[in-house]
Structures are given as C-alpha cells and as structure tokens.
Structure 1
C-alpha cells in the first residue's frame, strides 16, 4: 500500500509546495531528504519503532516521512510533554532510535536530519503494511495507550475525506495544528502528500497567520480546532481575508454555535464539521456540497458504516432509531480503523463488539437524513439525572447563547436524590453574572430537567493540546 502517492509519483514539484513556518521545499526535495533518513533507520543498531519530536518543523516532517519509507513505526512525541510522560511513551513503544533533535533526558541512539542531503536510492515505501504510526491517546483514563495505524487505514481515511471535501491537487491546505495527532499529522501532512495539494503549516495557530496563508499563499482549505476558530471569529480583519478560501474545516472538539454563526457572518461561509478518533481516523463529515448545521458532524465518509446502540440496562445492545432524539453509543466500522493498542490485547478486545463494530465510547444521535450529532463521551457527557438521560453538549450550547458567557463545560456529579446533578462550569465574557440567572436562562430554552443545578465560575477550562476540554479535571 502506497500512502504518500502524490509525493512518490513526482508531484508537488513547485519549490514552495511544502512550507513549514519559514522553510519551504518541493516534493522531490522532501523525498530526497527523507530517503536519507530511511537509509539511517534501516541501518539502525536495533529493531523497534523510531521516535520523532513532533514539532511543526521541516525536520520533523522529513523524519516522519523517512520512517514511512523505511516501513518502521514512527512515534510522534509531543514537544510539550514532561520527562515522565516522554519516558512512558518511549518505554511503552519500545522505540530504538531517536530521529532529529534529542531532549537531554533521552538516552536512545540518535540520527540527525539534514535537509540538504539526498539519497542515491530510488525512494519508495516499504512493501509490507505493518503499523506505520504509534499515536498516543491523551491518557484520561490511565496511562496513554499507543494506537497502531497502518498505511492502508490512513489511505482509506484520507480518500474518504478527499471525496467528502472535494479535496484535490488544485487545493492549498493550511493549518497550525500539532503534528502528534491524526488531525494535524495524518490529515494535515500526509493528506497533502497523498493527494498532491500544496501544504502551508503556519507554525503557530494565530488568526493573522491563517489570514497570511490565504492572502500570501493562496490557501483554499483550512483546518482548525474550535479554539483557533474562536480566535479568528474574534478578529474580523483576519476572518475577512478567509472569504476567498474554499472550505473551513473544524474538528477535534465541538464547535460552539456562536462561533459557527460568527464565522458564517465574517467569512461568508459556514464551517464544515467532522468527527473522528485516533482509533478510527475521520468517520463522519459534512460534505463540501452538504448542508452545514451548527453542532452536526454530517454523514459517514466513503467506506464507513455507523449504528446507534442503546446502553440502558433494560435495552442494552438494541439498535436505536434515527429520529434525531434517541441518544445511544455510536459504533462504527470501515477500512480506516486502527490495528489495535500496542501491547494491550485486552484493551483492544474491549473496544470491539462480537460482530466487529468499534465502540467509540461517544454518545450520539442520528436523524432521519443520516446526519450525526455527537453528544459527548458516554463516561462524562451523558448525564443520568432524575430518571432522564441528558447530553452535556446540548446544555453547553444553550449556555453559550448567553452574552455573558464565553466558555462552558457541563458535567454530572453524584447526587443522593437525582443520581447525578448537572453542574455547569463557565468562563464569563466580562461582567459578573448571577448563577441563578444562568440557570433560569437555560431552563427557558431547554426542558426544566436539563437546567444546571449548580453553576461554577472559573477563570479557564482545562484543555489538551487539541483544544478538548478535560472534564475529568473539573471536579478535581
């Protein structure tokens, strides 16, 4: 299986086809430098994956492409992790070699990346299709687990998105996402190298840099997480520049409805939302030619199937109707799914049903037209209160309609009477707001049983590198 098809077929031959920060190169230049890295990996002193510091640099991209050419699993190491977590990633993955600049606490053998060197060998990807990436989960339910992704899975996922987004070699992709997750690395780098679209990684996810990518480099396809889009929506001058872009894509966390509407007003187009996981690639997306509804993540991409399953004690395992109201666990299957968790056969087995559907652990609803809305994680976003099943996302959307609230996160906490009580954590937009007013505001818009029983004002919500709120930390 060839993942980086366009790159290996001689595409991206423009000298500035690939731009990372202030460094630019052509596809052939990237391929030549990556082939040198591949040679070094093949000659490494021990078997095992190779680790790369996943900074947004040309050196990191060359190193990871080199791993793909060598057929050796690559472990993208987040640049901001502490020494303890870095040690866990390296030990758990069994990494045998570090490619690029090595942190002082890492003792693995190291090979440097030289952007000017070229290999005399004909560059190609290794013929076998074992694990290509080991991406580590956020570790919210224990130590981070290594997700094994093959080139075949990544290619299938990218081809599904190319179909959904009408993504071609005529596009220029721009983003400022980290390179240690599916969103920034697989979609945001390997996608361009597979499909032949030019790539601009802006380095830092600032509104002015996104605007520059469009104005100065002709970006047509922009990737961002809600935090980025929120900042752009608050910068009318930068947002205005984005009017000439073809598609604005938001993912990795729910996009607040007020941000969705503000982007539509300022850029002249509504953003496209999508859904996926490290384990599944992107399984759902609004299509480029599809209806764009705030809060809905569209339909299955090509090759993907979904179903909604009840998790209630009385009806556990029953398929739920596509009525836009029934909340159940989203389960998926398709060619873009992961191979398993590295060294965790029991954890891998727990994620699959007997008939081989992947349990996402996310609660969702599906309407009659096949559109999906993600309610949130079953463990923290599906709240059972007073005999009702309530999705935290619906309450968060209502809270964000309040002019005095900038951010909101809703959780369920144990309650002797209700089972769980709904607790809202809010970041205010400015002046103080009476918590009772906030509770009444939600009660006016939703059913009474969906109102928060408690409102806690906080300075900021805890988030991970992709902008997802870490709800487990809200009650700590």
Structure 2
C-alpha cells in the first residue's frame, strides 16, 4: 500500500523531508515492482530494463554526489541543476537524484544549439550542468564557457555513475533541507510569442499534477506507456513520465519510428499512449503504405482490451485526423488542454463521450473560468509559482485575485445549434470506430453546456477582421476536410482596410486556386471566415512537439 501524499498545506514550511516523488519510488521499490523504465529501439535483441529497486538504489547513490557538487557552488547561487540527456533510464535517474538532493531540475532540449543552452543555463543561474555521454560534446563547452561545474552520467542498467569533470572542486557532503514550496522543476516556454521564460513549479505543484492526472486518467501500477515525446516539455516529462513513475507504472522509451511504435502499441503490452497530432498523421501515412494484410493486423491489434486510451495533445487536433484515427484504431482520441505554467487543466472524460474539437471539463485540482473576452483563467495547486527572475512578467499574467491568465481563448458550451453540432460530431466519430453510437445522446445537457472548446492563442489564433473576432483553429478544421489540403495554418495578415485578412497558408496535394477555395469555403463557413488570401508552401514551420509556429509566418508579413 502506497503512502498517502500529504497536502500542500501540510507540507508548507517543512524542511528536511523526502521529495514526494522520491518517496513514491522508495515505496514502489519496497513493494517489489519490476519494470520501472524500459529502453527499446526496435533494433536491439532485447530492451534494457531497470526495476524500481535498482532505480531507487541509483537515485540514492547519485544524489549524494549531487549534494557534494552543489555544496561547492558560489555563495548565493540557487540549487538548480540543468541537464541534457536523451529520454532514457539515465535521464530518469538524474531527475530523481536531483530531487533527492533537494535541488531543482532544469531539463533542456537535446535539439537546442549551444547559444540556446547558454541562455537557459544563465537564465536559471544553474551552478551545475549534467549530461549523458551522447550530449557531452555539446554541453561541456557550454558549462566550461560559463564557469559551471560539469558531470556526466554513464553506465548501464542496473548501475550508473556520475563522473565530475576534471577540476571540479571537491566538497564535503552537504545537508539536504527543503520544503514543499521550494522549486522542483523549471521548464521553459516554447518562445513562440517571445523570449522563452523559465516556469518554476514547486514540489507541491508537481505533486498536485500527478494526483490530478492519476484520478482523471485512472493511472495504476499495472499501466505500461510507450514514450516517444521530448522530456523537456510538460507533456513528455509531467503527463507521461512522472505521472507513470508516481503510480509505479512502466515507462518504455523509444525513438519515434512509425512501424516500430505501431508494433509495440499492438503488442498487448501497452495500456496507454500519449502523442501529438503529427504522430497520428505519420501513423496513418505508414499504414497507407502497408500491405492489406499488415494494415488489417495492426488495426485489429489496436482494438486489444489492454490499450485503455490514446491521447492527442500539445496542438489542436483536426477533426478529420480524429475521425480517420477512430476508423483505423477503434479509439476516439482523448483531447485535453494544458500548458507549461499549469500542467493540465481540462480533459475529456476517460469514460463516456468525447466531443471533436472540445477539450472537456476542468480536471481535479483545477478551477477554470472565462474572462469577459473569452480568455481562459486557471487557479489551483497545479499552477506554477513564478517566471524565474521575471517578477514583472509573473505579475502581468495573474489577476489581482490570483487567477492565471492563459492567453488562450475558449468557448464554454454554446447555442442550441452549436451543441447539436457537437452531438453530431461525436456520433460521426463514434460511428467511425464501428461501435454503437446511440449512447452519445445520453450525456446530460448541463454537462454539454459546460464543455470547453479552445478557439486559439489570443496572440496568433484570434483574428480580428472587419470588426469580427474569428477563430483560426475553427477555419483550419474546416479547410483540412478539403481533399487537396494536406496541412494548413490560418493567420491574420495585417491589412489597412480589414485590420487583418484571413489568410490560409497551405501545403497542397495538387493545384488549388484562391477562387476555388473561396467558392468551396462559402458552402461551409460564414462569409467573413472564408480565407481572403491563399499562400501555398512546401512545409509549415513546426517546433519539436509538432506545434505550428505561426509567429514565424506572421513575422514574414511584418518584414
């Protein structure tokens, strides 16, 4: 039986206590849980596995070395540890060891160039940098340039070592003292709307996230998740990795390869899978190239009873993608809404109906409401503490009574006609799975009236044209049903007459003129929502999570 997690109120002000996640790992080890983390690449004869017992043993040993290294840090510098490691067993051990040492985890992207890494290390004032062997050649010069202590984690399951760089000062073992309100994790915003900011989460707020997702998504130690996302991002590190470890589940890391991942998902081992819309598109493209026999085998394999749910997040899920995947897999993708500053705030339900284009209802531990402009406001124990060294930005993003201003616009419920459209959409997607769709109509009307739909990022997805406020995401969802449009981004191009012109930037399969697009669009959209301009490109700018970087498109128009 796992120990109950103490509340933030009970932990506040306490010192010298074990980080909640480390306490959970200890309990899982004592319970004899096997298969904590697996590394599989689809090529090796056998995956590499570490048990919870060995995971905890490594955590204890490495944390002592981190305590020593931090004890020699310059006076006044924070206990922040930046680390650059590929998703792996080594990554997990470093994260847990940092927490066990009472320090703050600052995971960085393995795809960042040296100047970005320098910015992150300097911005967080991290006195210690750690890497895996594969990233040492990139990260050590950064640490040396900035005068930071540096160490490399190496070894293989079940034993790992942490080796300080030559010349790193030796230090006596320090005393670990910290409290629930101390910084546990600093993640950087994507920087799509400005310079990346360091988002500070406390031991209390990260624990509140695990508790919330455990309740909402029914995580248990019997779960086994396939992990293909980056681990410097809220989706990869909190929603998947840490929530799984919190519950004693198995996390299987693998580089993304559509064929290998589909084979693992259909193996009967995997119970849940989290991804971004782009991955489901790549799966679909892979299946289209398979033989009829192999395709049928994989599609049937995804209908196994152990695969509880599949998530799509971090970017808007186009309804055509959702419908196509329902037909392929028998799963209606679970959409949810969150961001670096808040973890997860909204989610469709595990059981019952899921509505296309909707992100559901508030999660446990989260309060959600809309301001007068339709902006999403969030409050609760999952919300971050501050932007590091940026008091002005922190203050700007909170209301006077403590609600975090997400910067996203939403609609809650809608008119009778709009709610009927939601019902019809849910029925269509459920029919695509081959299951009985009659249950869709049984959802309580009050619940449907309180469901949230994301209209877009206020800064880039809300277009103000001719006096109208228009959701770019709504238009994109419609455009993607056009047989010649493979991908699209709808933006507001500055215009003296209209304020902003609705502009469709598209990757096409064939030829399509603006006239043809407008004629087609007028049959499906209000006239003021139909694109006034069409720009054809070979590819759209996306970040590592597959999210459209509309700011890069808009920046071209400002040049």
TM superposition score normalised by structure 1: 0.91
Matched, 1:242 2:302: yes
Relative to structure 1, the CA distance from residue 209 to residue 6 in structure 2 (aligned partners, 3 Å threshold; closer, same or farther) is farther
Measured in 1, the distance between the counterparts of 2:34 and 2:222 equals 16
Measured in 2, the distance between the counterparts of 1:3 and 1:300 equals 24
Q: Is the 8 A contact 2:36 2:245 kept in 1?
A: no
2:370 aligned residue? 308
2:404 aligned residue? 358
Measured in 1, the distance between the counterparts of 2:333 and 2:531 equals 29
Q: Is the 8 A contact 1:366 1:372 kept in 2?
A: yes
Relative to structure 1, the CA distance from residue 163 to residue 10 in structure 2 (aligned partners, 3 Å threshold; closer, same or farther) is closer
Give the alignment of 1:133-172 within 5 angstroms: 133-172=185-224
Residue 398 of structure 1: CA displacement? 0.6
Residue 15 of structure 1: CA displacement? 4.5
Measured in 2, the distance between the counterparts of 1:217 and 1:66 equals 32
Measured in 2, the distance between the counterparts of 1:269 and 1:126 equals 46
Q: Is the 8 A contact 1:247 1:271 kept in 2?
A: yes
Measured in 2, the distance between the counterparts of 1:17 and 1:58 equals 9
Residue 171 of structure 1: CA displacement? 1.5
SS in 1 for 2:487: strand
Q: Which of 76-85 and 7-16 deviates more?
A: 7-16
Cα RMSD between the aligned structures?
1.9
Which residue, 409, 428, 441 being the options, matches 2:520? 441
2:54 aligned residue? 29
Residue 175 of structure 1: CA displacement? 2.2
Relative to structure 1, the CA distance from residue 471 to residue 342 in structure 2 (aligned partners, 3 Å threshold; closer, same or farther) is same
Aligned length: 453
Which residue, 299, 324, 329 being the options, matches 1:262? 324
Measured in 2, the distance between the counterparts of 1:287 and 1:390 equals 28
Measured in 1, the distance between the counterparts of 2:55 and 2:520 equals 55
Structure 2: any 5+ residue segments left out of the alignment? Answer: 1-18, 41-46, 162-175, 288-294, 414-447
Residue 9 of structure 1: CA displacement? 0.3
Q: Is the 8 A contact 1:233 1:239 kept in 2?
A: no
Q: Is the 8 A contact 1:239 1:263 kept in 2?
A: no
1:227 aligned residue? 278
Higher helix fraction (1 or 2): 2
Q: Which of 82-91 and 156-165 deviates more?
A: 156-165
Residue 5 of structure 1: CA displacement? 4.9
Matched, 1:72 2:134: no
Residue 3 of structure 1: CA displacement? 2.7
Q: Is the 8 A contact 2:90 2:160 kept in 1?
A: no
1:340 aligned residue? 386
Measured in 2, the distance between the counterparts of 1:220 and 1:336 equals 25
Q: Is the 8 A contact 1:439 1:455 kept in 2?
A: no
Q: Which of 42-51 and 236-245 deviates more?
A: 236-245
1:122 aligned residue? none
Structure 1: any 5+ residue segments left out of the alignment? Answer: 120-124, 312-327
Q: Is the 8 A contact 2:491 2:550 kept in 1?
A: yes
Q: Is the 8 A contact 2:219 2:244 kept in 1?
A: no
Residues 5-25 of structure 1, C-alpha deviation per residue, up to 9 Å, x if partnerless? Answer: 542202584543311234211
2:504 aligned residue? 424
Give the alignment of 1:39-438 within 5 angstroms: 39-44=64-69, 45-46=72-73, 47=77, 48-101=79-132, 102=136, 103=138, 104-106=140-142, 107=144, 108-113=148-153, 114-115=155-156, 116-117=158-159, 128-129=179-180, 130-202=182-254, 204-216=255-267, 218-236=269-287, 237=295, 238-244=298-304, 245-311=307-373, 328-367=374-413, 369-428=449-508, 430-438=509-517
Residue 233 of structure 1: CA displacement? 2.6
1:315 aligned residue? none
SS in 1 for 2:141: coil
Residues 405-462 of structure 1, C-alpha deviation per residue, up to 9 Å, x if partnerless? Answer: 111111111112111110011111x222222212222221110000000011111110
TM superposition score normalised by structure 2: 0.78
Measured in 2, the distance between the counterparts of 1:14 and 1:158 equals 19
Relative to structure 1, the CA distance from residue 13 to residue 112 in structure 2 (aligned partners, 3 Å threshold; closer, same or farther) is farther
1:462 aligned residue? 541
Relative to structure 1, the CA distance from residue 52 to residue 435 in structure 2 (aligned partners, 3 Å threshold; closer, same or farther) is same
Measured in 2, the distance between the counterparts of 1:4 and 1:231 equals 36
SS in 2 for 1:234: helix
Q: Is the 8 A contact 1:3 1:154 kept in 2?
A: no
Measured in 2, the distance between the counterparts of 1:378 and 1:215 equals 39
Q: Is the 8 A contact 2:543 2:549 kept in 1?
A: yes
SS in 2 for 1:361: strand
Q: Is the 8 A contact 1:274 1:284 kept in 2?
A: yes
Measured in 2, the distance between the counterparts of 1:5 and 1:224 equals 28
1:453 aligned residue? 532
Residue 239 of structure 1: CA displacement? 4.7
Matched, 1:7 2:25: yes
Relative to structure 1, the CA distance from residue 240 to residue 464 in structure 2 (aligned partners, 3 Å threshold; closer, same or farther) is farther
Relative to structure 1, the CA distance from residue 461 to residue 126 in structure 2 (aligned partners, 3 Å threshold; closer, same or farther) is farther
Measured in 1, the distance between the counterparts of 2:358 and 2:88 equals 33
Residue 29 of structure 1: CA displacement? 1.0
Relative to structure 1, the CA distance from residue 5 to residue 234 in structure 2 (aligned partners, 3 Å threshold; closer, same or farther) is farther
Residue 58 of structure 1: CA displacement? 1.6
Measured in 2, the distance between the counterparts of 1:4 and 1:410 equals 45
Q: Which has the larger radius of gyration?
A: 2
